[in-house]
Amino acid sequence: MKKGTTDAAKITYFDAVKEHDEEKKKRSSSGMDRCKKMQCSVTLRRLLVHPDGVHFKKGNYSNPLMDLERIQLKLGKDLYKKTDQFAADIRLVFRNAMFRYPSRHNETHQAAAMLSELFETKWKDLEGKWEAEKAKRAKAKPFKSNEGEKRKPISDSDLSIAIANAKLQWEKNQKKKKSNEAVAAAQQNNVFVSCNSLWLQREKQREILQKMERTIFFGDDNFKYFHDLENLCGRSLTHYCTKENPLLKDLTGLVLREAE
């Protein structure tokens, strides 16, 4: 092969590759969005795997112009710019089948009518979902970017003022912190002093109670009862109630106060 022929073949090959890439890019940019394409693919797949879908595949004489497999191929190549074009081809398949076999008792006619109803039900749900998403996007507020705006340069004076204000704020925060710590320490010290004073006061009261001698006084009536007790005992109980023989104190914790 001559060199000129080889170069020409290379140029033709690269031109073909470039043209193919441009066409693919054009189809991708002009076709339906990825989400809708996937939903259309799922809907088409349900029709293909249906038991009656065999009547509408490639090579079947009931659909000489269009079949479900051709629609699947077009969808894979991004040849549908809008979802309405995809739906139109689906409807064309079933319409052609019912036109070719007009009898309602025909198996292909019945299959076309049933799958057509199945498709329309699913397609109505998809269109409602797409309309709702469209309305939701329309209500959403657009995000405003500030990337295009030019920032005002900061001068030396503005920077000095900002540093001075930051320093002043820091000093205020430090003073406030120290003041709060001093107040907390004073409160804690007051609580300690109060507790200590209360403890000392209770200790003094305890010492006074321990040193205090408990006494009891007998009135005239009580003294009479005491004599009655002596009569019952048959003996005098006076010497049992003195300090020298504190029997009554040991028994009752009380002593009689001697007359002055």
* pLDDT tens by residue, 165-185: 888 888 888 888 888 888 888
What type of residue is 220? Answer: D
Beta bridge partners of 216: 256
Q: How far apart are CA 101 and CA 168, in angstroms?
A: 92
Q: pTM of the full predicted structure?
A: 0.45
Q: How far apart are CA 11 and CA 16, in angstroms?
A: 9
pLDDT of amino acid 117: 95
Q: How many CB atoms lie under 10 A from the CB of residue 71?
A: 22
Give the pLDDT confidence of 131-159 residue by residue, as tens digits: 999 898 888 866 555 555 566 677 777 78
Q: How far apart are CA 71 and CA 65, in angstroms?
A: 11
Give the pLDDT confidence of 199-237 residue by residue, as tens digits: 888 787 777 766 665 555 555 566 666 667 667 666 665
Using DSSP bridges, classify how beta strands 255-256 and 215-216 pair: parallel, antiparallel or unpaired: parallel
Q: What's the whole-number average pLDDT of the chain?
A: 75
Burial class (CB in 10 A: 0-12, 13-18, 19+), 166: exposed
Lowest mean pLDDT among 2-6, 69-73, 121-125, 147-151: 2-6
Question: How far out from the chain centre does Cα 85 lie?
Answer: 42
Pick the more confident residue, 73 or 234.
73
Tokens representing residue 128 in the block: 């409602």
Pick the more confident residue, 81 or 226.
81
Highest mean pLDDT among 37-41, 155-159, 183-187, 248-252 belongs to 37-41
Tokens representing residue 26 in the block: 């054009």
The three-class DSSP label of residue 207 is: helix
pLDDT of amino acid 144: 59
Contacts of 130 (CB under 8 A, 6+ apart): 36, 83
